[in-house]
Structure formats: C-alpha cells, structure tokens
Amino acid sequence: MTHFFLLSQPLIALAFSRLVAERNRLVVSRRLRCAASFSRNRRRRG
C-alpha cells in the first residue's frame, strides 16, 4: 500500500500541475483576449 502510494505520488503531482497549468493558460488567454478587444474598442471609439 505504501509502496503504491510512493509510486503514485509523482504521477498525482504531475497530473495536478498539468491541470493547473491548463487552467492558468485558459485564464491568461481569456484575459489577453478581453484586453485586446477592449483596446480595439477604445481605439475605434477614439
């Protein structure tokens, strides 16, 4: 049991880090898209 736990620990950490990285990438891309559309709208209005 403990041997399996020790073996699965890095896999869990890797999966968790990949999940967090994916979520961060989605958030950052959404924020960048919002900022780009915002600046574009400001430029068009100005």
Q: For residue 38, what pLDDT is reported?
A: 84
- pTM for the full model? 0.55
Amino acid identity for residue 44 in this structure: R
Instruction: State pLDDT tens for residues 5-39.
Output: 777 888 889 999 999 999 999 999 999 999 888 88
Judged against a pLDDT cut of 70, whether residue 1 lies above it is answered with: no
Secondary structure of the chain as H, E, C letters: CHHHHHHHHHHHHHHHHHHHHHHHHHHHHHHHHHHHHHHHHHHHHC
Judged against a pLDDT cut of 70, whether residue 46 lies above it is answered with: no
Task: Tell the residue number behind the tokens 């967090």, with chain if given.
Answer: 20
